[in-house]
Amino acid sequence: MKVHLSTLGCRLNQSEIDSLARQFAAQGHEIADRAEAADLFVVNTCAVTREATRSSRQLIYRLHRASPDARIAVTGCYAHLAPREVAALPGVAHVVDNPAKDSLVSLLTGAPLAQIETYDREPIAREALVGAVSHTRAFVKVQDGCDRHCSFCVTRLARGQGRSRPVAEVIREIRQLHAAGYREMVLTGVHLGSYGDDLGLIDGLYQLVRAILEQTQIPRLRLSSLEPWGLSPELIALWDDPRLCRHLHLPLQSGCDATLKRMIRRTSQAEFRTLVDTIRKRVPDMAIATDVIVGFPGETDEEYAISRAFIQEMDFAALHVFRYSKRPGTAAVRLPDHVAEETKKARSEELQAISQAGKLRYAKRFVGQTLPVLWEAVSGSTEAGFVNSGYTSNYLRVRAVVPEVLTNQITDTQLVGCDDQAVMQGVLSGRNGVS
């Protein structure tokens, strides 16, 4: 059977679709990178915003048009929260809720899940596993679910209670992925900072990251989005190890305390400022990015102005700006004073501009420096050579034109310029010895 897999949304979804692809491949099915060739589609959907559910639906329509006879299996947060709506979409033959996702492959094929002991594909072949997705970093899911009650959050409803994978199991997977050629691991979870709470670990994320650094040789370890609380001084001190990527995504959601209170967030302006100051003192070049929701119910012009001023003060390396949308089942739906769409749009555009300026300011700080780059893809070629692109540890995107394909290598690279999209131009200055 030819299976085409697609995913939307967060890195957790990305890591899940990777492992579903590996399961199908281990059972002997072919992974199709072209939708037209597929007998079966698997779609891992997202429901974090209304826009995300719309994109999930559009993807299903698109796949059905590409191969009308193929069956479509839909999983992920949208499928979990609106199973009847999803089942009525054209071509959809299976709706698999989040708890059943781990056994999706055996549910669809009728064959037991294969024991995947080693991750035995070459990097390039692995990229073909998930269609358009191309990366040389692996997303490792270490945690799922969340026990908090942020009033806007539908993910919590879709993913259930917090639960963590044992440290030894994560280490084993990272060693296998490293042996198979991956250079960078990204630890993912719905509420990564709560890692280990259900296992009775104290400061669980610190324990996990320390164990990975001590017990594996993986050249790069990156943390995906991390709620801005519970980062202990011990965890922050682990960034003394250069293998831990200098990049943190700390979702603030609003820079105004009154709005944060209605969002039932466990942080405040003062706490967030202290956290960022502490991190920057210890790791001055850390890229700190964030998420912001604009137009949350009751966000007046004054609250928004406070939030915007704080966001500017924090000088983020990037902002992901979301316009608030009502998510059924969440507490925020019942709050009074919902904000007009045109106001949300104007606020969103203003913050996007602040984000772009911050991104450029951050990138320009590194022009003239030499940093290791993990090369991820080739986007074309010129007379001078192949256009290689990759990322630094602090998530600067770098392009270099050289006569060879560098994919999946880490090389020391001099950053000689930066375009208006904050893409750095790199010149190779030697290999850093990573094999």
State the CB neighbour count (10 A cutoff) for residue 68: 9
Q: Which stretch in 16-24, 106-114, 142-150, 328-336 sits in contact with ligand SF4 by CB under 6 A?
A: 142-150
Rounded least distance, CB 153 to ligand SF4, Å: 3
Q: Which is nearer to ligand SF4, 83 or 160 (CB)?
A: 160
Does 418 bind ligand SF4 (CB under 6 A)? Our answer is: no
**Rounded alpha-carbon distances, angstroms, from residue 356 to 151, 314, 347, 362, 373:** 28, 14, 14, 10, 22
223 binds ligand SF4 (CB under 6 A): no
Residue 64 engages ligand SF4 in binding (rule: CB under 6 A): no
Which window, 108-116, 153-161, 344-352, 411-419, contacts ligand SF4 (CB under 6 A)?
153-161
Which residues from 226-245 bind ligand SF4, rule CB under 6 A?
A: 227
Buried b (16+ CB within 10 A) or exposed e, 239-248: beeebbbbbb
Q: What 3-state class would DSSP assign to 25? A: helix
Per CB under 6 A, the segment of 115-123, 150-158, 305-313, 332-340 that binds ligand SF4 is: 150-158
Helix, strand, coil percent content, the chain, rounded in steps of 5: 40, 25, 35
Q: Is 148 in the site for ligand SF4 (CB under 6 A)?
A: yes
Of the pair 290, 394, the CB lying nearest ligand SF4 is at 290
Candidates 85-93, 133-141, 149-157, 239-247; binding stretch for ligand SF4 (CB under 6 A): 149-157
Distance of closest approach, residue 155 Cβ to ligand SF4, in angstroms: 5
Q: Is 191 in the site for ligand SF4 (CB under 6 A)?
A: yes
Eight-class DSSP state of 113? P
Q: How is residue 75 written in tokens?
A: 């999983």
Compute the least distance from the CB of residue 156 to ligand SF4, in Å: 4
Measured distance CA(103)–CA(98) in Å, rounded:
10
Structure tokens at 266: 């466990």
Q: CA 342 to CA 407: how far, in whole Å?
A: 44
Q: Widest CA span of the chain, in angstroms?
A: 61
Q: Identify which of residues 75 and 194 has a Cβ nearer to ligand SF4 in the complex.
A: 194
Q: DSSP 3-state assignment of 95?
A: strand
Q: Which residues contact 379 (CB under 8 A, 6 or more apart)?
A: 387, 389, 399
Closest approach of ligand SF4 to the CB of residue 91, in Å: 31
- Please give the helix or strand (H or E) that residue 416 lies within, else none: strand 410-418
**Which residue stretch of 37-45, 96-104, 144-152, 176-184 sits at the interface with ligand SF4 (rule: CB under 6 A)?**
144-152
d(CA 194, CA 217): 25
**Per rule CB under 6 A, is residue 327 in the interface with ligand SF4?**
no
- Return the residue of 190, 209, 276, 293 that touches ligand SF4, per CB under 6 A: 190
Residue closer to ligand SF4 (CB basis): 43 or 77:
77
Among 15, 155, 269, 388, binds ligand SF4 (CB under 6 A): 155
Assess contact for 122 and 169: CB atoms under 8 A: no
Q: Does 153 bind ligand SF4 (CB under 6 A)?
A: yes
Tell whether residue 146 is a contact of ligand SF4 (CB under 6 A). Answer: yes
Indicate the residue among 126 and 156 with the shorter CB distance to ligand SF4.
Answer: 156
Residue of 46, 82, 150, 209 that binds ligand SF4 (CB under 6 A): 150
Residue 421 is given by DSSP the state T
> Among the candidate windows 60-68, 93-101, 143-151, 304-312, which touches ligand SF4 by CB under 6 A?
143-151
HSE value, Cβ hemisphere, 13 Å, CA-based, for 209: 29
Q: How far apart are the first and last CA of the chain?
A: 36
Q: How does DSSP assign 352-381, residue by residue?
A: HHHHHHHHHHHHHTTTT-EEEEEEEEEEEE
Which of 141, 156, 308, 397 binds ligand SF4 (CB under 6 A)? It is: 156
Size of the site for ligand SF4 (CB under 6 A): 9
Question: Any contact of residue 163 with ligand SF4 (CB under 6 A)?
Answer: no
Contact between 144 and ligand SF4 by CB under 6 A: the answer reads no
Q: Which amino acid is at 202?
A: I
Contact residues for ligand SF4, defined by CB under 6 A: 146, 148, 150, 153, 155-156, 190-191, 227
